[in-house]
Copies of this chain bind each other. A is one copy, B any other.
């Protein structure tokens, strides 16, 4: 599989939903496979909260595969011998695209907390500019899970001519208060951590010891990605050290899992970037700039394929069903498919239980290509 990495610089301003402006910005991305001559084999993949443009394959001298490598690759579900796949790091991210730790062009100083609040619409708009720059006017399909599903839905509403098929996994029409409450732990943790210094930290400050507030927020996130049922299956009440039973810090396996994920993440992810991305997630509501959800969905021309997971507490299947029902109420029942995967894994199922939905995605992609 051919992996290409790139960063595009955009010198003309990006007008944001908030009314603020980014004078210039960069978008980092990766592509897999080859664009065909007619440019009709594009599949856009949107990454989730803390994902990156590295969706598939692996770099030389690195043993880490992309976050959706199980799905994307030669002869895989998203077959890179047929399709040209693009994944861009979201605006506000910290993996090459412009974010709060980028330099503000006029002063050369890092934005930090002066970075404008961005929304899913802004993220999608910047991506559209990238696609134009790459000579891509339309996609055969766009696909994303979680925050990626928000981008996919937003793209379907705001760029109705862009994609033929829009595939959402573990998505929603609007972020729930349940999700916002988990994000709140990260927000309070980061902002009030003395090492955050009101955003005036140095870029390398957390390489060895991550920001505690971010680690705690990420731990909260990792709870929200699972469910009481998947945790029981994964960890039950197993101890790491059986002799630690009566020690205050004798650990359960689930506690080690939380530590591992929270502390490692806080060394590699920028806290300001995390703040801005969870804010974009919290703001997301597909009806926000419209009269109603029906009103906004009225713009959609693509066919929607909705894949919900029964045990997903963060983005409830019934919320995804609202997307289906709204399309049906618009007389568009032939433009929407809804599938609820039997799973008690929780929100993370879209990154784990591939065998439960990959054949469906393959069918969706291959039926008209």
Whether A184 pairs with B248 at a CB distance below 8 angstroms is: no
Would you list which residues of chain A between 73 and 104 have a CB under 8 Å from chain B?
none
Chain B min CB distance to A105 (Å): 21
Q: With A18-B246, A246-B117 known to touch, is A237 a contact of B177 (CB < 8 Å)?
A: yes
Could you tell me the distance between the alpha carbons of A19 and B215 in the complex, rounded to whole angstroms? 35
A182's nearest neighbour on chain B, judged by CB, is B223
**A178, closest chain B residue (CB):** B228
Across the two chains, which residue of chain B brings its CB closest to A282? B252
Is A283 among interface residues, defined by CB-CB distance under 8 A? yes
Determine the chain B residues whose CB is within 8 A of the CB of A222 once the complex forms. Answer: 181
Chain B hits for A219, CB < 8 A? 181, 184-185, 188
A189-232 contacts to B, CB under 8 A, are: 189, 191-194, 212-213, 215-216, 219-220, 222-223, 226-228, 231-232
A255 touches B (CB below 8 Å) = yes
Residues from chain B with a CB closer than 8 A to the CB of A223 are: 178, 181-182, 185, 220
Within 8 A of B (CB), among A157-194: 174-178, 180-182, 184-185, 187-189, 191-194
Contact call B177/A252, Cβ cutoff below 8 A:
yes
A contact residues vs B (CB 8 Å cutoff): 17-20, 113, 116-117, 119, 174-178, 180-182, 184-185, 187-189, 191-194, 212-213, 215-216, 219-220, 222-223, 226-228, 231-232, 234-237, 245-249, 252-255, 257-259, 262, 275-276, 279, 282-283, 285, 313-314, 316
Closest to A215 in B: B188
Chain A interface main SS type: helix
Structural contact, A180 and B254, CB atoms closer than 8 A: yes
Please give me the residue from chain B that is nearest to A231 by CB atom.
B177
CA of A177 to CA of B180 in the docked complex: distance in angstroms?
A: 22
Question: Which of A116, A175, A185 is most buried by chain B, counting CB atoms within 10 A of its CB?
Answer: A185
Please tell me if the beta carbons of A232 and B176 are within 8 angstroms of each other in the complex: yes
Bound complex: CA of A259 vs CA of B231, how far in Å?
27
Instruction: Contacts A18-B246, A283-B245 given; indicate if A189 touches B216 (C-beta within 8 A).
Output: yes
B192 and A254 contacting across the interface, CB-CB below 8 Å: no
* Docked-complex contact A113 and B237, CB < 8 angstroms: no
Most chain B CB atoms below 10 A, which of A174, A193, A212, A222: A212
